[in-house]
């Protein structure tokens, strides 16, 4: 297939581009590089030994999007482009609603106009809010605690309504749990701007000596050791999930959890990181972070049943690969 990948220079997008190329798909990346680097494109080519087409455009720019659709025969779209910092979405709600929702609407409209029938969307486990674990695709969604989460829930509704009104336009809503790790080459991975908000990049930066100590947000949750439990998924497993999701997309709207189904606490992840990499990570226990839930993990059985996809990589591999990337990462690159 000829696949338009928005946000393809970003963390999850770049790993997915590698897997798409590996599976002999052609890719066109549209990214404005607001949270990624142009060098990532060379690394995707280097890993896969294949070529790709790149447009540096903002996908909220309808005419720029239209010009891509009018000049390429596109078979499907994977829409990763979006702003994703939960805390920033609280202080900049309009930027988040505009970027994440307008982009989804413009791309869906272009697909319908140009009869591009396959649309895969990056949603998030955050749409489950404080439902009971494990989260199942059939659950009613609960309000999230931040505008970022609302942009995902709204984008899902917009795409569902667009598919209902336009038979043929088929949508896969992929709800990711906590993506971590990096490609085994160490060439692509997660490189957040500034101080990381998420656990794994924070840990790797402490390991590198860029940050002094990890702060563990709360040890009084009703969990195995009191710290927050999450379903960490290796980014390459997640990327492989996108390949099958687009290849096997059938008419209608399909929702899939992409997680492992396993919960890991903060202290368990920390322990695994220290053991996998033989590095000590100093930490302090501090107050809970506002907006955090105690436990989040997937019922990942639907993706396995329908798509034959299952996450294969464990927490040790996630820790090893995340550290390999951070070790070799030079911000000046």
Name the site residues for ligand WQD (rule: CB under 6 A).
84, 86, 124, 126, 178, 197-199, 202, 214-217, 228, 230, 266, 289, 292
Does 241 sit near ligand NAD (CB under 6 A)?
no
Does 10 sit near ligand NAD (CB under 6 A)?
yes
Residue 215 binding partner per list ligand WQD, ligand NAD, none, with a CB distance cut-off of 5 to 8 Å that depends on partner kind: ligand WQD
Give ∠ CA 236-262-229 in degrees, rounded to 5.
105
Contact region with ligand NAD (CB under 6 A), list: 11-19, 161-169, 225-233, 274-282: 11-19
Site mask for ligand NAD (CB under 6 A), range 48-87, x = bound = ----------xxx-------------------xxxxx---
Does 96 sit near ligand NAD (CB under 6 A)?
no
Distances in Å between the Cα of 37 and the Cα atoms of 33, 42, 214, 224, 244 are 6, 10, 27, 39, 27
Residue 219: phi and psi, rounded to 5, are: -130, 30
Q: How far is the CB of 14 from ligand NAD (least distance, A)?
A: 8
Which residue out of 55, 96, 128, 148 is catalytically annotated? 148
**Contact pick of 4, 36, 47, 111 for ligand NAD (by CB under 6 A):** 36
Does 309 sit near ligand NAD (CB under 6 A)?
no
For ligand NAD, the closer CB: 97 or 285: 97
Residue 11 binding partner per list ligand WQD, ligand NAD, none, with a CB distance cut-off of 5 to 8 Å that depends on partner kind: ligand NAD
Helix, strand, coil percent content, the chain, rounded in steps of 5: 40, 15, 40
Q: Tell me, yes or no, if 148 is annotated catalytic.
A: yes
> Alpha helices of the chain — where are they, by DSSP H?
11-22, 39-48, 62-71, 86-91, 93-97, 103-113, 147-165, 199-208, 235-247, 266-277, 301-307, 315-328
* Pair type for strands 118-124 and 26-30: unpaired
For ligand NAD, the closer CB: 127 or 163: 127
> Which tokens is 242 given?
């996108």
Residue 215 burial by CB count (10 A; 0-12/13-18/19+): exposed, middle or buried?
A: middle
Residue 12: phi and psi, rounded to 5, are: -75, -35
Binding site for ligand NAD (CB under 6 A): 6-7, 9-13, 31-36, 58-60, 80-84, 99, 103, 122, 124, 176, 179
Active-site residues, by number, are 148
């Amino acid at each position: 297939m000829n696949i338009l990948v928005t946000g393809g220079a970003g963390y999850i997008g770049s790993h997915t581009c590698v897997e798409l190329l590996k599976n002999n798909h052609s890719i066109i990346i549209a990214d404005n590089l607001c949270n990624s680097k142009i060098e990532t494109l060379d690394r995707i080519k280097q890993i896969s030994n294949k070529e790709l087409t790149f447009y540096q455009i903002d996908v909220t720019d309808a005419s720029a999007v239209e010009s891509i659709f009018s000049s390429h025969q596109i078979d499907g779209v994977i829409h990763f482009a979006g702003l994703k910092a939960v805390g920033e979405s609280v202080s900049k709600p309009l930027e988040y609603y505009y970027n994440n929702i307008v982009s989804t609407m413009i791309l869906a409209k272009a697909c319908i106009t140009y009869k591009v029938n396959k649309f895969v969307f990056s949603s998030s486990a955050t749409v489950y809010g404080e439902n009971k674990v494990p989260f199942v695709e059939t659950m009613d969604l609960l309000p999230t605690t931040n505008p970022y989460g609302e942009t995902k829930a709204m984008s899902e509704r917009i795409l569902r309504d667009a598919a209902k009104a336009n038979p043929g336009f088929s949508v896969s809503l992929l709800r990711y749990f906590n993506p971590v790790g990096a490609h085994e080459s160490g060439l692509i991975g997660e490189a957040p701007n500034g101080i990381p908000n998420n656990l794994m990049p924070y840990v790797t930066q402490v390991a590198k000596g860029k940050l002094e100590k990890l702060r563990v947000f709360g040890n009084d949750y009703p969990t195995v050791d009191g710290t927050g439990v999450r379903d960490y998924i290796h980014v390459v497993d997640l990327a492989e999930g996108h390949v099958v999701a687009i290849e096997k997309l059938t008419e209608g709207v399909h929702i899939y959890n992409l997680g492992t189904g396993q919960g890991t606490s903060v202290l368990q992840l920390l322990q695994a990181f220290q053991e996998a990499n033989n590095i000590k990570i100093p930490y302090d226990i501090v107050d809970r972070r506002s907006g955090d839930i105690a436990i989040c993990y997937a019922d990942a059985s639907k993706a396995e049943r329908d798509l034959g996809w299952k996450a294969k990589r464990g927490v040790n591999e996630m820790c090893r690969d995340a550290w390999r990337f951070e070790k070799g990462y030079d911000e000046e690159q």
